[in-house]
Amino acid sequence: MRILVVSAPLLGHVFPLMPLALALRKAGHDVVVATGGDALKVHESGVDVETVISDTHMGRLALRTMLAHPLAAKSEVDGAGDLRFVSHLFGAVGKRMIKGLSRLVTRWSPDMIVHEPLAAAAAVIAERHGIPAVVHDISLFDGVELTSAVAARMREPIAKPHAVLRTSPASVADFSGGSPLRFVPYSGEGPVPDWLSTPSPRPRILVSRSTVSGPGGAKMMTAVAAAAGQVDAEFVVVRPKSGEALPDNVRAVDWVPLTAVLPRCAAVVHHGGAGTTLSALAAGIPQLIEPGVGDRTRHASLVTARGAGLSATPSEITPELLTRLIRDTGLARSAKEVSAEIAAMPSPTRVAARLTE
């Protein structure tokens, strides 16, 4: 079969699609990933990639959307969890993707389209061309609801999905309908320092930030660095603030692939993005999430409600809180339970076979 995999032009949106895309390719199907921007980086995996949106700077587009819709923007910044801003932003992205996707589909004639929820242009094109569309969740939000909201903002009709793939473990966020798909962390390839590839004599805490710039990340890292010297742990801070003094037990690194690093960590402190949240759950380690913009507050709430992590703003980060993150046996137990739940979900290989029967 010819299968088109579609993502908005963001790394954090295309990475979660790659395990299924690669499983489909390994099974002998022709797979093309259609995206743009930073997400084009996935060509390094060996999969064929087509640019369907160009000259779109997501940061500038987000700023223009905020200025055009200030009330929706305030709700988004406050982490209120409604879909007004995200539908405006990705509706604009979708409109820019329509033409490129239409040309690709006309030229290549895929048998199936798999898309992440905010790439609603894929659902629109699937409807126009009569192609089965599969919605592939990538966060702890209902993917069908997201796609419908964005398509409505685009004022475009979409068909009922041929299938819906749910990557959220049910004990964290349970949605009606759809089929489970095991979340397999994917973050591409990248160098990992030798010292980070070996166990640490003390608990290791990764302090990570988003693949997308946003408010609050630098403050969180500064707060962790300030408290770290009083915690019996090794801290690994990804891309800290330039020139910031770090305690002896804090080591700075450039970007590192989460898939290589998280299994060697006792916990992770992060911004609440979907990819990092799900990757930490899959790794079975407690996480401390900074609630914030967009879906980040929702992720923090769901993880803390499950007992698999903590939530704190930068001003609430203390040595005692970081110590609890690595010493609280209840957090560790819940995190491992969720990891086992994820491991029991159908693998990308199994789901790929079922989709193409």
Question: pLDDT (tens digit, 9 = 90+) per residue, 38-69?
Answer: 899 999 999 999 999 987 788 889 899 989 89
Rounded distance between C-alpha atoms, residue 324 and residue 329, angstroms:
9
In this predicted structure, what is the pLDDT of residue 331? 98
Question: What are the structure tokens assigned to 20, written together?
Answer: 């299924």
Place of tokens 């923090």: 300
- The DSSP string of 287-339 is EEE---TTTHHHHHHHHHHHTSEEE--GGG--HHHHHHHHH-HHHHHHHHHHH
Provide the percentage of residues in the chain whose pLDDT is more than 90.
70
In this predicted structure, what is the pLDDT of residue 217? 61
In this predicted structure, what is the pLDDT of residue 81? 65
In this predicted structure, what is the pLDDT of residue 149? 96
pLDDT band for 215, please (50, 70, 90 cuts).
very low
354 versus 244: the higher-pLDDT residue is 354
Is the model's pLDDT at 169 over the cut of 60? Answer: yes
Query: Which own/partner pairs from 259-265 qualify as long-range (CB within 8 Å, at least 24 positions apart)?
Result: 259/185, 259/186, 259/187, 260/187, 260/190, 260/192, 260/197, 261/192, 261/196, 261/206, 261/236, 262/185, 262/206, 264/196, 264/197, 264/198, 264/199, 264/200, 264/204, 265/204, 265/205, 265/206, 265/236
Q: Among the listed ranges 69-83, 180-194, 229-243, 316-330, which one has the minimum average pLDDT value?
A: 69-83
Is the model's pLDDT at 122 over the cut of 80? Answer: yes
Query: Do 13 and 30 contact (CB within 8 A), yes or no?
Result: no
Rounded distance between C-alpha atoms, residue 159 and residue 119, angstroms:
14
Rounded distance between C-alpha atoms, residue 228 and residue 65, angstroms:
38
Q: How far is CA 110 from CA 17, 34, 121, 124, 130, in A?
A: 17, 12, 15, 14, 10
Is the model's pLDDT at 253 over the cut of 60? Answer: yes
Q: What is the pLDDT of residues 229-249, one digit of tens each?
A: 999 999 999 877 666 778 899
Q: What is the pLDDT of residues 68-114, one digit of tens each?
A: 899 888 888 877 767 898 999 999 999 999 999 999 999 999 999 99
Q: Is 342 helix (H, G, I), strand (E, B) or coil?
A: helix
Secondary structure of 109-170 as H, E, C letters: CCCEEEECCCCHHHHHHHHHHCCCEEEECCCCCCHHHHHHHHHHHHCCCCCCCCEEEECCCC
Q: Is 179 helix (H, G, I), strand (E, B) or coil?
A: strand
- Number of Cβ within a 10 Å radius of residue 51: 14
Q: Where in the chain is the domain with CATH 3.40.50.2000?
A: 2-166, 194-343
CATH second-level architecture of 194-343? Answer: 3-Layer(aba) Sandwich (3.40)
Question: What are the structure tokens assigned to 277, written together?
Answer: 């949240």
Spatial CA neighbour of 255 closest among 237, 234, 280: 237
In this predicted structure, what is the pLDDT of residue 115? 99
Q: Among the listed ranges 28-32, 66-70, 128-132, 202-206, which one has the minimum average pLDDT value?
A: 66-70
pLDDT band for 212, please (50, 70, 90 cuts).
very low
Rounded distance between C-alpha atoms, residue 104 and residue 123, angstroms:
14
Provide the percentage of residues in the chain whose pLDDT is more than 70.
97
**Average pLDDT estimate for 328-344:** 98
Is the model's pLDDT at 11 over the cut of 60? Answer: yes
Burial of 349 (0-12, 13-18, 19+ CB in 10 A): middle
Asked if the 2-166 domain carries CATH number 3.30.420.10, the reply is no
In this predicted structure, what is the pLDDT of residue 140? 93
Residue burial 173-192, b: 16+ Cβ < 10 Å; e: rest: bebeebebbbbbbbbbeeee
Give pTM, 2 decimals. 0.92
